[in-house]
Amino acid sequence: MSTVANESSVDANAAASAGSDRAGLGKNFAPGLADYNYAYLDEQTKRMIRRATLKAVAIPGYQVPFGSREMPVPYGWGTGGIQLTASLIGPDDVFKCIDQGADDTTNAVSIRAFFGKVAGVQTTEDTRRASIIQTRHRIPEAPLAEGQTMVFQVPQPEPLRGLVPRETETRAMHAYEEYGTQYVSLYENVAKFGRIAATAGYPVLVDGRYVMSPSPIPKFDNPKLHRSPALMLFGAGREQRIYAIPPYTDVESLNFDDHPFEVQSWEETCALCSAEDSYMDEVVLDDAGRRMYVCSDSHYCAERRAAGHEGWAADDDSAKALLEGEA
Amino acid sequence: MSTARAMESGLDAGPILAVENLSRHFGRVRACEGVHFELHPGEVLGIVGESGSGKTTLLRCVSGRLAPTSGCVRFDVRNGGLKDVFELPERDRRRLQREEWGFVHQNPRDGLRMRVSAGANVAEPLMNLGDRHYGNMRARTVEWLSRVELELDRIDDNPRNFSGGMQQRIQIARNLIHAPRIVFMDEPTGGLDVSVQARLLDLLRDLVRRLGLAAIVVTHDLGVARLLADRLMVMKNGHVVETGLTDQVLDDPQHAYTQLLVSAVLQL
């Protein structure tokens, strides 16, 4: 299993479980967790998930079935991502969790606290410091580096599902590279809107072989998948699938020759940090329909503000009031 | 006349499809028994018989959708001569079905994607063949929708918003746009009212003749068979009881069952 040794996080985890010296970890553990195994899942389950993960890394874009477990949150709240993280995480990891790009939403805060508690790891909001980043809907704006692992929470791993309801059929289509049907959805888009209007879960071709759904990240983030130095892991708990994009893998977004792939763009800059290059959320300010655009990546925005960048909202009373109300 | 054309284009080239001693049993039920025929390029074969006589089972076997219990179906693979369809690797069989064959279902809901537009339904075979240029596909879709006499401003409507006859025409366009070498049709006009049937038959006859398609048409309607088919096979209880040129079989039926069938047609 030399592949395991190459992955730092798996390596750390292996050390943790092999040691079974829970006393050593105990100092980080919250009281009352003594009856739980390290990182919540039992070792057999973690092993099974790691095997599926290794297979997924070996066959980029291929959906590997795994025996998804009951988790302490409902399906749809990121059970696939939590299981992946739980089987990869070790005491030396630094964990970041985002939801829609933000570190401070309920789900992100809860999952971060969960792993802080059951795995005794350091948590962070800083993208560069994190070794494992669990995410829903976004890839952080700060460039990822070698050794980092992205864990995506995936609701529907099958890109063909909207058109082909039968699993036996979609598996055969993947096996034989029958991807013409995938373009039907793009055709529908162009026919209805004059352009490829799909914005999230935009299908990609991984390593020239498997068509894959990049989970509901905006297509703005699709180019970040291409030849990324970080390992990208995708976990779908309800659908029981794990798939992966290893570092430095070609990832190409599907398109038509006469309708090339394009990412979203905004006419305004971030109202808080005046960033031009990040993915924007629209925030309504008052009943008169005034609005502002802010970075969806909250840490990226905060970092820019700390560095002295300032958007127009700094001089605007209602925007300031709204922000202070939040804080 | 049609047979003369079939002979011209077909016989030198040899059959496009050869079915040998094909049987399909479902437990005790013998749906097809010892069926044998050949189909040449440009030829339209009609399969008639009463309900439950094994027509549809035979069509499903011949079109590679259902493995026969015994016997074989051989198709003229490009540069490969006649190859047993069921011995081909699944990948090749699926490729044949997708790229070189068409299958018109009795119920258009089985043959169409009901959740995407008519235009996308018709264009899908082009995407399967690797076309990645929206403009080209759109132009060919428009061309085919006008060939099957559908209003072009409804190209982006969903199939469920079309009438049954229109859905059937969408399905026909979808199955002909990629210029298949052979088309299988299972009761293409079943369940349609008589005037729509007549127009659809007119259209089908025109397309089949103009494109020089080989086709197998399953029907219980002798009128449909008379209009479309060059040759007829009459089935009863899973057996082929009579074969011959369409006019010959219908005007001078030899087998008792065929005589019954022909005399049972209402004369108006």
pLDDT (tens digit per residue) in A281-302: 998 888 888 889 999 999 999 9
Average pLDDT over residues B133-141: 96
Searching chain B, which residue's CA lies closest to the CA of residue A162? B115
Mutate to test the interface with A, among B116, B121, B158, B178 (most CBs of A within 10 A): B116
Q: Identify all chain A residues contacting B137, using CB atoms and an 8 Å cutoff.
A: 187
Is the Cβ pair A163, B116 closer than 8 Å?
yes
Which has the higher per-residue pLDDT, A171 or A21? Answer: A171
Mean pLDDT of chain A: 88
Q: Do B134 and A163 touch (CB under 8 A)?
A: no
**How large is the ipTM?**
0.86
How close A156 gets to chain B, by Cα (Å)? 19
Query: Could you tell me which chain A residue has the CA closest to the CA of B131?
Result: A180
The 3-state DSSP class for residue A218 equals: strand
Q: How confident is the model at residue B135 (pLDDT cuts 50, 70, 90)?
A: very high
Is the confidence at residue B108, as pLDDT, over 70? Answer: yes
Is the pLDDT reported for residue A131 higher than 90? Answer: yes
Residue of B nearest to A178 (CA): B128
**Most A CBs within 10 Å: which of B97, B127, B140, B177, as the mutation test of the A interface?**
B127
- Residues of chain A contacting residue B124, judged by C-beta atoms under 8 Å apart: 180-181, 184, 187
* Inter-chain CB proximity A184 and B134 less than 8 Å: no
CA of B147 vs chain A CAs: smallest distance (Å): 20
Contact B134 A190 (CB under 8 A): yes
What confidence tier does A304 reach under pLDDT thresholds 50, 70, 90? very high
Residue-level pLDDT at A24: 43
| Burial of B154 from C-beta contacts in 10 A (0-12 / 13-18 / 19+) | middle
Per mean pLDDT, which range of A2-6, B101-105, B250-254 is the poorest? A2-6
User: Taking 80 as the threshold, does the pLDDT of residue A324 lie above it?
Assistant: no
* Token duo for residue A143: 């460039």
Q: What is the largest CA-CA distance in chain A?
A: 63
Kindly indicate the confidence band of residue A10, based on its pLDDT and cuts at 50, 70 and 90.
very low
**pLDDT > 70 in chain B, percent:** 94
The predicted pLDDT at position A108 comes to 93
Contact in structure between B177 and B126 (CB atoms under 8 Å):
yes
Of the candidates B65, B177, B45, the residue with the CA atom closest to the CA atom of residue B124? B177
What mean pLDDT comes out for the span A310-327? Answer: 74
The pLDDT, as a whole number, for residue B153 is 93
Residues of A with CB under 8 A from a CB of B: 162-163, 172, 175-176, 178, 180-181, 183-185, 187-188, 190-192, 255-259
Which pLDDT band holds residue B208 (cuts at 50, 70, 90)?
A: confident
Can you list the positions of beta strands (E) in B89-164?
Answer: 101-104
pLDDT for residue A36: 78
Of A5-19, A260-274, B49-63, B125-139, minimum mean pLDDT range: A5-19
Name chain B contacts of A162, Cβ cutoff 8 Å.
Answer: 115
Average pLDDT over residues A192-218: 93
Q: What is the DSSP pairing of strand A94-99 with strand A132-136? A: parallel
Is the confidence at residue A18, as pLDDT, over 70?
no
Put simply, the answer to whether B117 touches A257 (Cβ < 8 Å) is: no
Q: pLDDT category, A11, cuts 50, 70, 90?
A: very low
Average pLDDT over residues A170-183: 95
To the nearest whole Å, the CA of A61 is away from the closest chain B CA by 20
Catalytic site includes residue A295 = yes
Confidence of residue A3 (pLDDT cuts 50, 70, 90): very low
- b/e map A251-268, b = 16+ CB within 10 Å: bbbbbbeebebeeeeeee
**Cβ-defined contact of B127 to A257 (cutoff 8 Å):** no
Whether residue A97 lies in the annotated active site = no
**Contact between residue A255 and residue A196 where contact means Cβ atoms under 8 Å apart:** yes
Contact between A91 and A115 under an 8 Å Cβ cutoff? The reply is no
Q: Average pLDDT of A139-155? A: 96
pLDDT, residue A73, reads 84
pLDDT for the residue A30: 58
**A76-128: pLDDT as tens digits:** 789 999 999 999 999 999 999 999 999 999 999 999 999 999 999 999 999 99
Give residue A325's pLDDT band: very low, low, confident or very high (50, 70, 90). low
- For residue B17, the model assigns a pLDDT of 95
pLDDT at B265: 80
Q: What percent of chain A has pLDDT over 90?
A: 73
Under 8 Å between Cβ of B88 and B124: no
Q: What is the mean pLDDT of residues B62-78?
A: 93
Confidence of residue B83 (pLDDT cuts 50, 70, 90): very high
Which residues touch A140 (CB under 8 Å, ≥6 apart)?
A98, A101, A127, A133, A297, A299, A300
Q: How far is A256 from chain B (nearest CA, A)?
A: 5
The DSSP symbol for B10 reads: I
Q: What would the mean pLDDT of A157-165 be, rounded to a whole number?
A: 93
Single-letter amino acid, residue A61: G
Considering only alpha carbons, which residue of chain B is nearest residue A176?
A: B91
Residue in A closest to B135 by C-alpha:
A258
A101 φ/ψ sector (left φ>0, alpha ψ -120 to 50, else beta): left
Residues in B lying within 8 Å of A, measured between beta carbons: 90-91, 94-95, 98, 113, 115-117, 119-120, 123-125, 127-130, 132-135, 137-138, 155-156
- Report the share of chain B in percent with pLDDT over 90: 69
Return the pLDDT at A34: 67
